[in-house]
Structure 1
């Protein structure tokens, strides 16, 4: 699966009949990399080029008539009968072994491959040449270019980035639960703010704090040397009740998650694998602690995985809170995920597959109903993808009614802006940069009674109907200001921002300013550093308001 192969056409000297051989390009990590360095210089040669130019060593005495590169992709999506499984973990392990022999769903070939060879390969692999075979003009397996991107040329790289500590945590050495309890919820912005000194600190403290009684958590993906798992194991050893829902069906991380599940089970952790028929994609930690005035629950709800590696590369949000109603909601959510209780009705959080989609459509329709010239409606969503048909239709209705719709979408977007009489009040942009935009924010003006939400769900059918997702309201005024700043910066920026046109194509915004401008991500790096400097001088509130006014005015003038 995804291996690079050479289709070699050859014949015996003086013969006329062609024979064919398949040669697998022998990439072995640390031994035979994709790019071979020539004499410790800055010159690299692709391994397949080396092999193809030395085929006479593999086929001595034969006449090589052609050599063409191809690779096959096997199906990684296997429908499993979970309800009939006695052991889901064993079923996943079997599926992983079977994946090596799964049906081929795509064949990539060189663009100029001989048409006869192309058809022959398709027939041999049981593929429809017209539908399943794709000519590739550029290099195949382009992810291997990370080797080249990692070369030490400082002048060609972005400046090194080091996340700063959250300003509420950096100068406060108290127990993190005391900080949350006494000073209110915290909004975490990764990778600008450190994952290690916030989320990992939260869980590490929970594992060591003698007043913590229980920890519950969902785990979709985590890093190879996971401090998250070590904290959970440590908590169990310290006598705390620990329950972790591990999603075994996290695609391409199944094997790693099986290893972590077994490691945690051996440490006495109660490990479950979620709800039959649903993937658990939510990012939630719930901690039960015996405070001075009784039991109190603390929570982290995020948009990104509990993965220290991606926390350095993905733009994600998280909230640390001890809000009583959110904590009650999460308690009932975990009872549903780890037991047999029916799906509950929640007080504040929105969840898939039961309440989120319906709630979002109702809020869009409410914005339409409330819209007027005196109080214009406004919907602003930031997400990875807009694919769900019902949500898309609701947004079309809103735009046609005159509601302003701003969408910041990294990937697929089914809605087209700028269509006369339909989406003239809608804009769709995409933000690029050194980090992957991964956060989800959902905002409704709601006639002045504004609503902000963050969470794990994209607006895709699979997220809204086939996964367990959690989206939480953000109610603290200061945290809302931070979210408003994120939205305004991205909507107003001229650098590394692409605007969708009415035909679905994208055009990059042009910076017409004579001054040097920053991209959204460069802006957030700078803001995080300014916040850190201001925190030591107790000027953060003034700085936040000043920045908010600046970007809000810039957005109005665009």
Structure 2
């Protein structure tokens, strides 16, 4: 267990100062006061401390520990591109409006820098520890000078044949202006001079990317590795023949990714996004990373040339710059240094030689899918595959936020169009860092005759929905998949998500309304009877249900609210949950990363528990539960409790009504709230302590076992039914 931080003492205002409090004289809290709201950026950085701790935890397999170190590196890259980049834009625009937690944009940047620097210290210590442990196991990342002569000759030959032709050294002098530095590229700053001349020359070499050469080059047949840039640095006499190399140091820049243009009045949204992508390449620099060997003079020169504040925006990195690339090392195939292999199970209703998937859904009414415990391919992709080929299917509609080249989603949609189905796809062009891929997918789909739209102007379409219209024996019937995760085969193996396959007629009617809205952009007063879409319905519905829970709460029938989501950022929902706690309602929050609410404050939030799960899989599921006076309600869907999701995105939340499916959701909530391995509980000051106890398995391992048991129980039942059938046939034969 990590050490518990000191908890802030809270002194609430009282209605009757000096008098003894009675039940009617409860402390009074001003829920507009910034002190009750934690900062979004700082709580997200706190989440990365928890991720880093998984790398520090000796119970985690060695190469998985490297993976967590890599994940934090990538997370911080994205944090600077998106969050710090956005804050710097606000500072540049002169924004002075305070956040709900009472901070200015500039103040947030300064506080974030301080937290990041403390995380970097931890990363440095962890990197040194893990590289030492890797070395003990025969996996070594060494410097060029640590290689023997034969090994140096091997890598030098590789440099001459495979790297040297790709290099473009760039001088920096009056005839050669300071070069453009691309985002997240590793660069060498090389100082050279002539043999008998004291005047130095500055040069920049970019380490080539996207050329099929790994960051960590394997030497020989074992697990000995040298960094790409280190090999370049030790062959500079080849790059600069006849010159003396005085010094060489590495650096890396991070550019702002917030470059969207206002497309509200644009005639061509696609053109707007393409322009934004071009602008992102040249966006302002928000961070400069330099290695510890760079001189103060050159550090200052780079900061000046790049237009950043040397004191605030320059970070000295000990060890490997760009630690996200340690993913290459973490991916080494040595099973004993990884988590036990998990091959997703088929959903028990979809296993074996199961019939047409639409017959199964129609018979069952609804199926609940749990990824990555259950297979994405044999459920979601199968649903779309059979829809694309089934002659009775007339139309397929879906929303596409993110997918991957490894997914079969796009080929199945193309097949459907070629097979004469009506296919309509709402492609979200503004899915951050997936814009280029989504533009390509959209073009492929349009070329095949698919009706492609880009959603509603001014709103991101973040919902995860596939909608199929089929001519069944009794007329037209509509089938749907509504999920919490993207249609992405890669993330479906490492993200924890849920999906609902359903033929519910009311949900289908609601989805008809939703897709008509998405494909036309026209939003009259559409009547949704079961679904809770945003931006028009969801937030009000959540606030109303919280208020209902407060009204229904009593000593004999206590209320309960449980939310599982990636983030809790919206102030109105946070304030409503405070009110629920003050009314006595038990509030359990499984929040992965950012959370504004402070639990455990007497009189305000002593009935609130905030738990974060950090483990083998990335938590991505959204579940909303209300006790509702015994008439329990469960919802799943794509929306986090953030202002952007509730007010500026198209999201879909669906009820889960069949009792057997609710039991699975109840199981997920209970297992995670009882976790003693992967769970962290928030203290009133916003810090976290890791939950520890006798249970050695984390919730992810437990849920793997439960998914396996569901399948084995179903197979056993099927086998028993087959035996009974055979026995009955034999009995009839004797007669």
The alpha carbon displacement at 1:71 in A equals 1.1
State whether structure 2 residue 450 is matched by structure 1 residue 264.
no
Greater relative contact order (CA < 8 Å, ≥ 6 in sequence): 2
| DSSP-derived class of the 1:265 partner | helix
The alpha carbon displacement at 1:260 in A equals 1.3
In structure 2, C-alpha distance between the alignment counterparts of 1:417 and 1:44, rounded to whole Å: 47
Query: 2:569 is matched with which residue?
Result: 387
The alpha carbon displacement at 1:399 in A equals 2.3
Q: 1:39 aligns with which of 198, 208, 220?
A: 220
- Superposition map of 1:486-505 within 5 A: 486-505=668-687
State whether structure 2 residue 586 is matched by structure 1 residue 404.
yes
Query: 2:541 is matched with which residue?
Result: 359
**Which is worse superposed, 209-218 or 42-51?**
42-51
Query: 2:394 is matched with which residue?
Result: 213
In structure 1, C-alpha distance between the alignment counterparts of 2:508 and 2:455, rounded to whole Å: 20
**Which is worse superposed, 331-340 or 370-379?**
370-379
State whether structure 2 residue 600 is matched by structure 1 residue 418.
yes
Query: 2:336 is matched with which residue?
Result: 155
The alpha carbon displacement at 1:206 in A equals 1.4
State whether structure 2 residue 481 is matched by structure 1 residue 300.
yes
Query: 2:471 is matched with which residue?
Result: 290
The alpha carbon displacement at 1:94 in A equals 3.2
**Which is worse superposed, 272-281 or 428-437?**
428-437
State whether structure 2 residue 278 is matched by structure 1 residue 94.
no
State whether structure 2 residue 189 is matched by structure 1 residue 7.
yes
In structure 2, C-alpha distance between the alignment counterparts of 1:232 and 1:38, rounded to whole Å: 44
Q: 1:77 aligns with which of 239, 254, 258?
A: 258
Q: 2:501 aligns with which of 293, 301, 320?
A: 320
| DSSP-derived class of the 1:304 partner | coil
Q: Deviations over 1:100-121 (max 9, x none)?
A: 2222222223367544433322
In structure 1, C-alpha distance between the alignment counterparts of 2:556 and 2:320, rounded to whole Å: 55
Query: 1:484 is matched with which residue?
Result: 666
Cα gap change, 1:122 to 1:397, in 2 (>3 Å): farther
Query: 2:21 is matched with which residue?
Result: none
In structure 2, C-alpha distance between the alignment counterparts of 1:420 and 1:187, rounded to whole Å: 39
Query: 1:185 is matched with which residue?
Result: 366
**Which is worse superposed, 167-176 or 11-20?**
11-20
Query: 1:538 is matched with which residue?
Result: 717
In structure 1, C-alpha distance between the alignment counterparts of 2:279 and 2:298, rounded to whole Å: 28
In structure 2, C-alpha distance between the alignment counterparts of 1:60 and 1:394, rounded to whole Å: 69
Cα gap change, 1:211 to 1:26, in 2 (>3 Å): closer
The alpha carbon displacement at 1:430 in A equals 1.6
State whether structure 2 residue 653 is matched by structure 1 residue 471.
yes
Q: Deviations over 1:105-141 (max 9, x none)?
A: 2222336754443332222111233443333345332
Query: 2:529 is matched with which residue?
Result: 347
State whether structure 2 residue 121 is matched by structure 1 residue 121.
no
Cα gap change, 1:378 to 1:112, in 2 (>3 Å): farther
In structure 2, C-alpha distance between the alignment counterparts of 1:134 and 1:402, rounded to whole Å: 47
- Answer 1 or 2: which has greater strand percent: 1
Cα gap change, 1:421 to 1:184, in 2 (>3 Å): same
| DSSP-derived class of the 1:167 partner | coil
Query: 2:248 is matched with which residue?
Result: 67
Cα gap change, 1:368 to 1:14, in 2 (>3 Å): farther
Contact 2:259 2:279 in 1 (8 A): no
State whether structure 2 residue 208 is matched by structure 1 residue 26.
yes
- Superposition map of 1:111-260 within 5 A: 113-137=294-318, 139-171=320-352, 173-260=354-441
| DSSP-derived class of the 1:464 partner | helix
Cα gap change, 1:29 to 1:410, in 2 (>3 Å): farther
Cα gap change, 1:28 to 1:292, in 2 (>3 Å): closer
Q: 1:335 aligns with which of 497, 505, 516?
A: 516
Cα gap change, 1:539 to 1:134, in 2 (>3 Å): farther
| DSSP-derived class of the 1:354 partner | coil
Contact 2:569 2:595 in 1 (8 A): yes
Q: Deviations over 1:424-455 (max 9, x none)?
A: 22222221222211111111112212111100
Cα gap change, 1:387 to 1:15, in 2 (>3 Å): farther
Cα gap change, 1:465 to 1:65, in 2 (>3 Å): farther
In structure 2, C-alpha distance between the alignment counterparts of 1:184 and 1:171, rounded to whole Å: 20
State whether structure 2 residue 467 is matched by structure 1 residue 309.
no
| DSSP-derived class of the 2:685 partner | coil
Cα gap change, 1:125 to 1:488, in 2 (>3 Å): same
Unpaired runs of 5+ residues, structure 2, are 1-182, 720-735
| DSSP-derived class of the 1:26 partner | coil
In structure 2, C-alpha distance between the alignment counterparts of 1:112 and 1:21, rounded to whole Å: 16
The alpha carbon displacement at 1:152 in A equals 2.1
TM-score by length of 1: 0.91
In structure 2, C-alpha distance between the alignment counterparts of 1:492 and 1:380, rounded to whole Å: 14
In structure 2, C-alpha distance between the alignment counterparts of 1:53 and 1:411, rounded to whole Å: 42
The alpha carbon displacement at 1:269 in A equals 0.9
The alpha carbon displacement at 1:528 in A equals 1.2
- Answer 1 or 2: which has greater helix percent: 2
Query: 1:553 is matched with which residue?
Result: none
Say what the alpha-carbon RMSD is for the aligned residues.
2.1
Query: 2:703 is matched with which residue?
Result: 524
**Which is worse superposed, 467-476 or 55-64?**
55-64
Query: 1:458 is matched with which residue?
Result: 640
Q: Deviations over 1:529-551 (max 9, x none)?
A: 111111022299xxxxxxxxxxx
In structure 1, C-alpha distance between the alignment counterparts of 2:447 and 2:209, rounded to whole Å: 36
In structure 2, C-alpha distance between the alignment counterparts of 1:367 and 1:16, rounded to whole Å: 78
TM-score by length of 2: 0.70
The alpha carbon displacement at 1:73 in A equals 1.5
In structure 2, C-alpha distance between the alignment counterparts of 1:123 and 1:421, rounded to whole Å: 52
- Superposition map of 1:363-382 within 5 A: 363-382=545-564
| DSSP-derived class of the 1:472 partner | strand
